[in-house]
Chains A and B, each alone.
Chain A
Amino acid sequence: DTGVSQNPRHKITKRGQNVTFRCDPISEHNRLYWYRQTLGQGPEFLTYFQNEAQLEKSRLLSDRFSAERPKGSFSTLEIQRTEQGDSAMYLCASSGGTGVNTEAFFGQGTRLTVV
């Protein structure tokens, strides 16, 4: 297993278009997280899945954002009607097990530019 994989690595889109990102976590990791990182800032939590259940959503996740994790494996993050303020790096992380002794492993992110 090569770690958390995110696709695409870069996405340029016109304002108003919809975009979808994919995250493939480390195999058998039951926890999956999405974070957003704007230039010069630290990552900010967006949402959390345990298996296929979305258990937490940040207030940053407006109704234009939707995340899914069908079958508890890969996850998708969709942004509808993109705005320039959505330009950021979108990071996915996964962790495994039921305890707290497994740290989250991050992917390399998808950099979104809205023009």
Chain B
Amino acid sequence: AQKVTQAQTEISVVEKEDVTLDCVYETRDTTYYLFWYKQPPSGELVFLIRRNSFDEQNEISGRYSWNFQKSTSSFNFTITASQVVDSAVYFCALSEAHGIYAGNMLTFGGGTRLMVKP
């Protein structure tokens, strides 16, 4: 069975601070995908990143960066110089990488609510 744990239920920071959102996962699959989604108050889940389990290279996209460590089953997400518009709930998710469900049937964590104060 797959499981995703986001231990931080709520984080509050002041604008321009850096913040890291933790994600730990469990799976018996040897290949899998990891995701991060953002859910603003409007409710729509916004895709941020997908990472293949074979690719442990860290990724940076603007103020966002992701640290994938297979050895500790973690896929952490860092926002540098946070802004008020970053306030949202962030979800980490996991999916299998083979078969008809590959990449889209997601197991989500419980989410981390990030509040960025001006």
Number of contacting residues on B, CB 8 A?
28
> Quick check: which of B14-22, B44-52, B60-68, B71-79 contacts chain A, the rest being far away?
B44-52
A89 to B42, CA, bound (A): 12
Which A residue sits closest to B42, measured CB to CB? Answer: A108
Number of contacting residues on A, CB 8 A?
28
20 intermolecular pairs with C-beta atoms under 8 Å apart = A40-B111, A41-B110, A42-B6, A42-B109, A42-B111, A45-B106, A48-B101, A48-B104, A56-B105, A100-B104, A102-B103, A103-B35, A104-B47, A106-B46, A107-B44, A108-B42, A108-B43, A108-B44, A109-B43, A109-B44
Binding site for B on A (CB under 8 A): 31, 33, 35, 40-45, 48, 50, 55-56, 89, 91, 93, 95, 100-109, 111
Binding site for A on B (CB under 8 A): 4, 6, 9, 33, 35, 37, 42-47, 50, 91, 93, 97, 100-111
